[in-house]
Structure 1
Amino acid sequence: MNINHKSDLKLSKTEKKFLRKQSKARHVLLKHEGIEAVSYVTQSLVVANGGLGNGVSRKQLLLALEECGSVEALLMPPNKPYAFVRYGTIEESRKAYAALNGKEIADDAGQKIVLYLNFVEKAQWENVGLQALPPGVMIVEDIISSEDEKMLLESINWTEDTDSQNFQKSLKHRRVKHFGYEFHYESNNVDKEKPLPGGLPDFCNSILEKWLKAGYIQHKPDQLTVNQYEPGHGIPAHIDTHSAFEDEIVSLSLGSEIVMDFKHPEGITVQIMLPRRSLLVMTGESRYLWTHGITPRKFDTVQASERHRSGIITSDIGDLTLSKRGVRTSFTFRKVRRTPCNCSYPLVCDSQRKATPPSFPFPESDKEASQLEREHVHQVYEEIAGHFSSTRHSPWPHIVDFLKALPSGSIVADVGCGNGKYLGINKELYMIGCDRSRNLVDICRERQFQAFVCDALAVPVRSESCDACISIAVIHHFATAERRVAALRELARLLRPGGKALIYVWAMEQEYRNQKSKYLRGNRRSEGNKEETSSETSTSMQGLLVNEESVGCSKDPALSVPVINDITEGGCKSRKVTNSGLPIHTNRTSFHSQDVLVPWHLKGNPGIDKTVEPFGPVGSPNPSPVFHRFYHVFCGGELETACQALGDVSILKSYYDQGNWCVILQKV
């Protein structure tokens, strides 16, 4: 008898509802996780709704499962809303299927959830290899006694006058105090000319002296920030500004343990458990190159056994559970730097980079930002659509991999589809495209793709109707941080729970890993007796403009890698753009400002409006129009921080790809 259907035709409404939900759970697991249920009894079952990803701890689930027999293995993949269980015998497995299907249990937050079980041949999951601590990270457990912890916590008076020099109440999700110097979160820096009165509290001196004597720290700090975190709150990924502080960043965790995320620019993420009363010391590469942050959530995935009290959270899915966060107070000590930083990471060091050009007028309101985008994004792409499309034909491998990995039948939105380059990659998907440029959407329609005109801030698609979204080289065209987050929030709105989005934005650090030759060199090709540089780089349109992956899209046959394809060698000799104080980027050079105008040299478009002024290269016999598109190029960690501001997504992966910062996020 098929175990998923009852022979009795007189099923109650409750039983019919249960069977529908069980069938749906089986379908969802197959479609989105590749987990195939079988219609016969086996020793192994998959438990839908019973996973770490939806708040069920190992202890809670095991209590329910062991009522039906001897559990040989319980495998709980991190961040997944399901688990696998293997019983000692088929009879025990059959009993669990009958007894636990539709059973309510409470998650760690006390909410009731219903389990749905199906038989499987074997457990299936992606195993991530064990990683090492980031170079320069040291964790010292039990660095202070419980008595000292109590003394430190009681020494911070959070109820005193909020006008106190050491108190700041402006942070949305936590209380904070500063000693020695005020730490400015908007710049991860201090004003060295404005020390706070009193220096560090007296009660810190004896503790710091012990750490110095033991060799845990090399310099006595002169700046302290105390943060109090409520459960569910975190801190965005960041790097403390190089020129602000000496090498050591030291953080003492009190009151509760926490998992901190460390991320390398290449996308490697390491989750590290910081136990209560432990000391975290960051020096060298971990301090200067890796971002560190705390993901906002109420439960952390941790090792179930005691063999890993601190350090990396491993990928052993047979030893993972949930830990409920408590109120955590961190004491972060730093020593203010008095000389320029001379670290070994000059490409990401503010002391060693070239000076940023003088400041320029920037939008002070949403209306001004919208006007800037209209003039330097929307109108430009309408003018260059044909030429732009002719340079956009080579799909990028990582984006292709993302689309081809989606289950057959998935509904996917390409927000900022441009000429539709990615709409036909996977014929098994139902893909729709949208773009702010009517002319680019017309090109999509000519190619028989489903596309429509809209703005990225208001996509006319029902909420939670998409299995996946892609946003390729779009978000960087928004002129303010608030509008960039709003565009990300719109992507998240389209996703169903569990749905994924892939996002690409231009990176400021495009010389990273000494790949300057790949990104800062033109793609020269022969046309008759003339050698020219084909028009430039990736772009897209403001409200979901054009889909391009980075600074570069065509491929140089000699290099077999994407390159930046900008106008004339050495940049465009164009005049100052009317009514704009924005710096104009010199193509094929490093970025020295995050907010820039990037030139596009229009070529071979007989339909161009002849009234456009031709600011072509000086001396050109047939000058061509040059258009300037607005870009906000992202620094490392900035895209992840913007995504974390959404609150209802988790970042599955972040990485650097050919001049872009990239994120894969999932709606929770």
Structure 2
Amino acid sequence: MAAPSIAMDSRHQSSHKLNKAEKKFLRKQIKAKHTLLRHEGIETVSYATQNLVVANGGLGNGVSRNQLLPVLEDCGLVDALLMPPNKPYSFVRYKTTEESRKAHATLNGKEIVDDLGQKIILYLNFVEKAQWKELGPQALPPGLMVVEEIISSEDEKMLLESINWTEDTDNENFQKCLKHRRVKHFGYEFRYDNNNVDKDRPLPGGLPDICDSILEKWLQEGYIKHKPDQLTINQYQPGHGIPAHIDTHSAFEDEIISLSLGSEIVMDFKHPDGITVPVMLPRRSLLVMTGESRYLWTHGITPRKFDTIQASEHHKSGIITSDVGDLTLSKRGIRTSFTFRKVRRTPCNCSYYVACDSQRKESPPSFPESDQEASQLEREYVHRVYEEIAGHFSSTRHTPWPHIVEFLKALPDGSIVADIGCGNGKYLGINKELYMIGCDRSQNLVDICRERQFQAFACDALAVPVRSESCDACISIAVIHHFATAERRVLALQELVRLLRPGGKALIYVWAMEQEYNKQKSKYLKGNRISQGKKEEISSDASAQGLLLEQMPDMGHQDTASSVPCFSDIQEGECHSNKVANSELPVHTNRTSFHSQDVLVPWHLKGSSGKAKPVESLGPLGSCDTSAVFHRYYHVFCEGELEAACQTLSNVSILQSYYDQGNWCVILQKL
């Protein structure tokens, strides 16, 4: 490894011991170096060169070119500053090695403040050359067009002033609040519960009169081919966005147009093959989606307060390129979009069958087909299984998750908090200043909670016997994915919200379909094998952070808790059957990516011989057969799906959504 910074060496040339702060800095510098190598393939060197990689000093963690360059120039003449898009590091090349050596000594460990006022620490290492994973050449998705300066600044002001956000506050057809954005519908209401419109119930008044002349002009100039009859106005606050989605084929005709007012934004378009194209939408520009870009590519706005954009003045709209010498950050402002669509009167017959709801209706319905079947599935593959495995399940669930701990510890002292689906109660005693109660469908897990002196009771998460608006906060960790239909999952969310007082918050975790996210594998895929009773490293990166498998959330593939050798995950060749008796659902292969959203996940118990220790009695259904494989039903959530389900609730606001090691997570607040 590279030696500590020259500045540190010079301070301690007469001493062989480092103080606590210096040891901490050295550990972090080494960790930054290893992370760059492991995740980005960037090799650092121990000797001085003209080139440095600056960890924490990148566009991906909120450091702009205008912010970083002056700091670097204080140490010498900068030949080039290369900032790869969306990466938390950059490269600087100095004119001479002496200047780069000075920067390494002076700036290593330097604390700077980003544009959000947050403090970050720079860690510098020498490299032979700048290297990163480049994006290939990109073009706009087929059928996509961006027209700049489509209206004047006077028209923009007139349109913005025409929106009365305070009227009709009691009428949900006209005004909604979704994830920190205000929404109004004209012509027809867009319903977020089914992502469609009621074509037989137009809203009174049609489109605003102020839009008529603008739409007529666009028709005459050939930018659009059809006059829209539906308008959705969204107002986005800085830092918030909208999940990636495709406008429902059966709801609207081919042409979808969106006018951006008030602030520029970067919208991400993603092809099913994984290609992502970031597109700049300048203020007063018109986005026109037709053909493939409308029917096949998803589009969305990533929640963040800064966008990566081209630094040059002549770069305005279109693709954000990977020109690392010409990228910087743009702070978002309040953006208002006018999205115009024409309601479709006949089924869609596009050639993009995979994303077309009109044509998918011809295929057999997905399992389960009814609420009764869903309830039966849950009884067989959720309720019964947890009663059987409760004791062993509890023994693998003892280390709380950091983000959940943070949520609980941030609540005011004296708050009343309900853990809906509390399992063995590992979160019930996290914050002694809270009044926490837990409930779970498994009586055996509730009994374990009571043995630990926690307040818990048995009930169904769809019908919690607690008074409405009596809780300051709720948590639902790895529970809602056990409900077998979208309707039942929404009902579970509604029950959480019912318990909250106005202003109360809920934290929700569900398993993610995406076990590889932002080019990083979740701990599920990295895994932690138990080999002859010894722990093996998840990865050197995870070990360096002190992360063992038992610290991960309650995911079935993580049932190999390092302290419990009696469980062994499915080995090669075991339990690879496609179906389980009496079930149409595929059986998931542990420690692999998910290939279906609705799956049965095996919980495998070894017998008492050999290395494995006996499994204790597991409740009134009898001691579990220690050679059995149990299957639990899961609906794994795709990106944006949990947010979309929360957005169907009329009285909540989504405060935060994030991905946490194989889970999609949301913090919502009752309005």
Shared fold per TM-score greater than 0.5: yes
Aligned residue number for residue 118 of structure 1: 125
- 1:344 pairs, out of 342, 351, 355, with 351
Residue 511 of structure 2 contacts residue 555 of structure 2 at CA under 8 Å; is this kept in 1? no
Residues 1:312 and 1:227: Cα distance change in structure 2 (over 3 Å): same
One-letter identity of the residue aligned with 1:283: T
One-letter identity of the residue aligned with 1:28: K
Aligned residue number for residue 206 of structure 2: 199
Aligned residue number for residue 34 of structure 2: 31
Residue 342 of structure 1, CA deviation: 0.9
Aligned residue number for residue 635 of structure 2: 632
Residue 488 of structure 1 contacts residue 643 of structure 1 at CA under 8 Å; is this kept in 2? no
Residues 1:152 and 1:363: Cα distance change in structure 2 (over 3 Å): farther
SS in 1 for 2:32: helix
- 2:578 pairs, out of 562, 565, 579, with 565
Q: How does 1:372-521 map to 2 (within 5 A)?
A: 374-375=382-383, 378=386, 477=482, 479=484, 480=489, 488=509, 501=522
Q: Take 2:67 and 2:28, find their aligned partners in 1: how far apart are those partners?
A: 21
Q: How does 1:204-215 map to 2 (within 5 A)?
A: 204-215=211-222
Residue 103 of structure 1 contacts residue 114 of structure 1 at CA under 8 Å; is this kept in 2? yes
Aligned residue number for residue 248 of structure 1: 255
Q: How does 1:94-243 map to 2 (within 5 A)?
A: 94-164=101-171, 167-243=174-250
Residues 1:117 and 1:629: Cα distance change in structure 2 (over 3 Å): closer
Residue 116 of structure 1, CA deviation: 3.3
- For residues 568-609 of structure 1, the C-alpha deviation after alignment (integer angstroms, 9 at most, x for no partner) is xxxx6x5xxxxxxxxx63779xxxxx9979799x9xx9xxx9
The two structures have a TM-score, normalised by structure 1, of 0.62
Q: How does 1:277-356 map to 2 (within 5 A)?
A: 277-353=284-360, 354=363, 356=365
SS in 2 for 1:68: coil
Residue 74 of structure 1, CA deviation: 0.7
Q: Take 2:599 and 2:134, find their aligned partners in 1: how far apart are those partners?
A: 44
One-letter identity of the residue aligned with 1:297: R
Aligned residue number for residue 584 of structure 2: 585
Residues 1:52 and 1:628: Cα distance change in structure 2 (over 3 Å): closer
Residue 555 of structure 2 is aligned to residue 544 of structure 1: yes
Q: Take 1:86 and 1:638, find their aligned partners in 2: how far apart are those partners?
A: 43
One-letter identity of the residue aligned with 1:67: D
Residue 264 of structure 1 contacts residue 289 of structure 1 at CA under 8 Å; is this kept in 2? yes
Residues 1:137 and 1:81: Cα distance change in structure 2 (over 3 Å): same
- 1:360 pairs, out of 347, 371, 393, with 371
Residues 1:293 and 1:597: Cα distance change in structure 2 (over 3 Å): closer
Residue 122 of structure 1, CA deviation: 2.3
Residue 261 of structure 1 contacts residue 272 of structure 1 at CA under 8 Å; is this kept in 2? yes
Residue 272 of structure 1 contacts residue 313 of structure 1 at CA under 8 Å; is this kept in 2? yes
Q: Take 2:14 and 2:331, find their aligned partners in 1: how far apart are those partners?
A: 41
Residue 188 of structure 1 contacts residue 239 of structure 1 at CA under 8 Å; is this kept in 2? no
Residues 1:488 and 1:77: Cα distance change in structure 2 (over 3 Å): farther
Residue 321 of structure 1, CA deviation: 1.3
SS in 1 for 2:371: coil
* Ranges in structure 2 where 5+ consecutive residues have no aligned partner: 394-400, 402-422, 425-443, 450-477, 497-505, 526-552, 560-569, 588-595, 608-617, 622-627, 648-653, 666-671
Residue 168 of structure 1 contacts residue 177 of structure 1 at CA under 8 Å; is this kept in 2? yes
Residues 1:184 and 1:586: Cα distance change in structure 2 (over 3 Å): same
Q: Take 1:268 and 1:90, find their aligned partners in 2: how far apart are those partners?
A: 39
One-letter identity of the residue aligned with 1:87: Y
SS in 2 for 1:92: helix
Identity of counterpart residues, as a percentage?
Answer: 63
Aligned residue number for residue 461 of structure 2: none
Q: Take 2:507 and 2:160, find their aligned partners in 1: how far apart are those partners?
A: 38
SS in 1 for 2:29: helix
Residue 305 of structure 1 contacts residue 319 of structure 1 at CA under 8 Å; is this kept in 2? yes
Residues 1:641 and 1:554: Cα distance change in structure 2 (over 3 Å): farther
Residue 213 of structure 1, CA deviation: 1.5
CA RMSD of superposed structures (Å): 5.4
Q: Take 2:344 and 2:642, find their aligned partners in 1: how far apart are those partners?
A: 28
Residues 1:45 and 1:363: Cα distance change in structure 2 (over 3 Å): same
The two structures have a TM-score, normalised by structure 2, of 0.61
Q: Take 1:546 and 1:499, find their aligned partners in 2: how far apart are those partners?
A: 17
Residues 1:566 and 1:256: Cα distance change in structure 2 (over 3 Å): same
Q: Take 1:89 and 1:192, find their aligned partners in 2: how far apart are those partners?
A: 69
One-letter identity of the residue aligned with 1:32: T
Residue 59 of structure 2 contacts residue 83 of structure 2 at CA under 8 Å; is this kept in 1? yes
Q: How does 1:60-79 map to 2 (within 5 A)?
A: 60-79=67-86
Residue 293 of structure 1, CA deviation: 1.2
Residue 133 of structure 1, CA deviation: 1.8
- For residues 543-578 of structure 1, the C-alpha deviation after alignment (integer angstroms, 9 at most, x for no partner) is 422479xxxx9999xxxxx997236xxxx6x5xxxx
Residue 212 of structure 1, CA deviation: 1.3
Q: Take 2:133 and 2:308, find their aligned partners in 1: how far apart are those partners?
A: 16
Residue 48 of structure 1, CA deviation: 2.8
Residues 1:190 and 1:651: Cα distance change in structure 2 (over 3 Å): farther
Residue 511 of structure 2 contacts residue 663 of structure 2 at CA under 8 Å; is this kept in 1? no
One-letter identity of the residue aligned with 1:585: E
Residue 150 of structure 1, CA deviation: 0.8
SS in 2 for 1:163: coil
Residue 32 of structure 1, CA deviation: 1.3
One-letter identity of the residue aligned with 1:176: V
- 2:52 pairs, out of 45, 57, 60, with 45
Aligned residue number for residue 466 of structure 1: none
Residues 1:7 and 1:56: Cα distance change in structure 2 (over 3 Å): closer
Residue 87 of structure 1, CA deviation: 0.5
One-letter identity of the residue aligned with 1:288: Y
SS in 2 for 1:375: helix
Residue 275 of structure 1, CA deviation: 1.0
One-letter identity of the residue aligned with 1:266: D
Residue 24 of structure 1, CA deviation: 2.8
Residue 347 of structure 1, CA deviation: 3.3
Residue 501 of structure 1 contacts residue 664 of structure 1 at CA under 8 Å; is this kept in 2? no
Residue 209 of structure 1, CA deviation: 1.0
Residue 378 of structure 2 contacts residue 633 of structure 2 at CA under 8 Å; is this kept in 1? no
Residue 239 of structure 1 contacts residue 292 of structure 1 at CA under 8 Å; is this kept in 2? yes
Aligned residues: 500
- For residues 190-210 of structure 1, the C-alpha deviation after alignment (integer angstroms, 9 at most, x for no partner) is 111211100000111111111
